[in-house]
Chains A and B, each alone.
Chain A
Amino acid sequence: MTTSVCRVALAVNVLLLCACGKSSTSPTPAVTQPPPATSTFTTTFEQNPAPFRSTGCSFSTPQGWYTAVRLQETAGVSFTPATLTQKLDGNTVSFLAESFGSRFGACAGAAFTSGVILANGAVCGTVGVCTANAYTTYQFSITGTDANGHTITVDSPVLQLGARPAGQSILLTPSSLPSRPPQASSQIDASGRIRP
């Protein structure tokens, strides 16, 4: 597609040059090919600020802030993400170092190609942080290359993290048996009652 567009532009320029050579009329303004479009995104958090929740964040750290997010491409140019960076209070945090693919996937009912945000397509995911610590903002950035060769960075809006109730802490509840009850002396109904 890109090659075809260049060939057409070249042909137009050649025709313009020929026209200039044969005419003495005032020159026609040169037609400049518009630059190829660049992937553009809108980011929509389902909730902003995201409320602090005491359950449902992750299997091992149930409390934290999280919300669904939708990343919509609007310029009609597909985009291949390369890196995902997540920040808390403006600082990149290593404990949220994940790949784009492990955080973003298909939006419900929409077409999806793994590793790519299609032209005019969207990806969805759940973002935030599962923690007992206190933070006030969350933001993610995605870098990558669009179909026209532009290297771009998509910065999400800042997600405000709602107030955390005082006293929240990680609850660890290891599974264990209660102490064994005393040994039973009778184990079977032999008294005539019809026991299921």
Chain B
Amino acid sequence: MSRAAGVRAVADRVVVLCIVLLSATAAQAQKLTIQGDRFAVDGTPRFLTIITYFGGMGAPNVIADLHLIRSLGFDGIRIWPNLDTGPQLMNGDGSLRPDELKRLLFILDQAKQEHLVVDVTFTYEHIAGMTPSTARVGILAATNALRSYDNLLFDIQNERNVTDRRFMSGADVGRIFEGIKAIDPSRIAFADNAPVDPPEYAAQFARSLGLDVTAYHEPRPANWYELGVTQAVIRALKTTGRPVYMQEPMATRDTFFRYPSNDKAEYFLQAIANSKLSGAAAWCFHTEVAVDFRGGPPFLEDLLRAYPEPEWAFVNSLNARIVLRASNGTHYVVAEGGGGSGVRADRTAAGPGGWEVLGVSALSGGPLISGDRVALTASNGTYYLQAVNGGGGPLRAASQSVGAWETFTIEKPGGGIIHHGDAISLRAGDSSWYVVAEGGGGGGVNVNSASRGAWETFTILFVTPHSAQ
């Protein structure tokens, strides 16, 4: 071996070592647990926003798809590894198919890299010859094979209470649940119920079997998305004291059925916000575009883009971008230079450019609700708005990480969902310091006001798709 080749070999080993170390770091960075009636990611309670990826086993571009899903702001995917539109994980006797298992592991590895939670939903009806008894064999084998993943949810059977080929008795679910726990006590497991039974039934079912999660597929009336409807369902489900997973709300489209109120992102935006407000722990965007990748566009992005409403509009709403208008009604908050320096409230609507556009995210996940702790990014996406010294001084956009000083509590009078056009205020963390546009706008922005008045009130306007109600 020449000297150059030797150096190159050492360098290659260093690169490989770095990749391994980075992979190990990433692989440890997403752990899903339960804290009371909430999910927690890496120990922090978080409302999970999940998207259906039922046909992922047959998806030709998993890496790109999962990266897109993460980039759009989703927390996880829901996959059906036994679906008959792609490779199927199990044989009828419950044994796992080696190549298909490798395929699932590949998908789960990619999900881990993207820090995505995965709802692995089993559907024994899709496997020829499978019975609840052999489904138990298969699910327990999968439990063993997937023990090293701590970012998974196991749904033992989709819509187990529908009395067709999906049906799985409570006793069978219970046996499988016990088997899972015997192999992997930390595995979060449950079985979901369809709305052929009311939410009270779903709660009683979960409670009686001691399932980890209360998952329910809610009814689909025309006003399914409204707060009153959502609240009633979730209130019933929450009696279990376990996380409520709104796993399969209204579908965006269906080949055979014409559902109401599903053609606009607005319905789904209201539904997810109302679910979070009502105390759900997770909500799934139920699109059908990723059920079958055979014959269609090979990338999830193309499948989503094919439907400007509701799919593309909804998925682009999660990483919310806003502007804040000062109380004088004329000026907008601007992170000077797009970030990296000061923050003022003197940008006018007549001035071109986008430095007044800020990113905002609830640190606990999901849509913005009054009382949420939020982080705000400057338009360059690099810098976070920061209350210098945690409050009592200026607001700047010069921090590149989120800590206590970069955390604000968003509040609106009367509480509730933060809508486009709402009057809101921002308080530095848990302090008593409010963000204030000096003079009501036209000048500097500080975080040194101890009371909330007009100058501490901003109108929040969403630039990304948003709910008006």
Contacts and interface: CB of A to CB of B under 8 A. Distances in A.
Interface of A: 57-61, 64-66, 93, 95-99, 101-106, 112, 114-115, 125-131, 174-178, 180-184, 186-196
Contact of B337 (A112, A187, A194, A196): A112
A96 B351 contact: yes
Interface string B77-98: 0001001000000000000000
B349 A183 contact: no
A99 B345 CA distance: 9
9 contacts: A59-B323, A98-B347, A112-B340, A177-B266, A181-B261, A183-B221, A184-B220, A187-B195, A189-B162
A106 B340 contact: yes
A184 B54 contact: no
Q: Is the interface of B mostly helix, strand, loop or mixed?
A: loop
B170 interface: no
Contact of A129 (B165, B222, B350, B469): B350
Interface residues of B, number: 63
Contact of B468 (A95, A112, A174, A195): A174
Contacts of A174: 468
B288 A59 contact: no
Interface of B: 52, 54, 80, 83, 123, 125-126, 159, 162-166, 194-196, 219-223, 251, 254, 256-257, 259-261, 264, 266-267, 288, 291, 323, 330, 334, 336-338, 340-342, 344, 346-357, 420, 442, 461, 463, 466-469
B257 A189 contact: yes
B61 to A, nearest CB: 20
Given A130-B349, A184-B221, 16 more contacts: A58-B350, A66-B352, A97-B442, A101-B336, A101-B341, A102-B347, A102-B355, A105-B338, A114-B337, A114-B342, A175-B466, A180-B260, A188-B219, A189-B256, A190-B162, A196-B83
B346 A99 contact: yes
Contacts of A114: 336-337, 340-342
A166 B291 CA distance: 48
Closest A-B pairs by Cβ, 6 of them: A105-B337, A114-B341, A66-B352, A175-B468, A101-B336, A187-B220
B346 A188 contact: no
Q: Considering residues B194, B323, B350, which has the most beta carbons from chain A within 10 angstroms of its beta carbon?
A: B350
Contacts of A101: 336-337, 341-342, 344
B346 A98 contact: yes
A60 B303 CA distance: 30
Contacts of A183: 221-222, 260
Contacts of A131: 350
A102 B468 contact: no
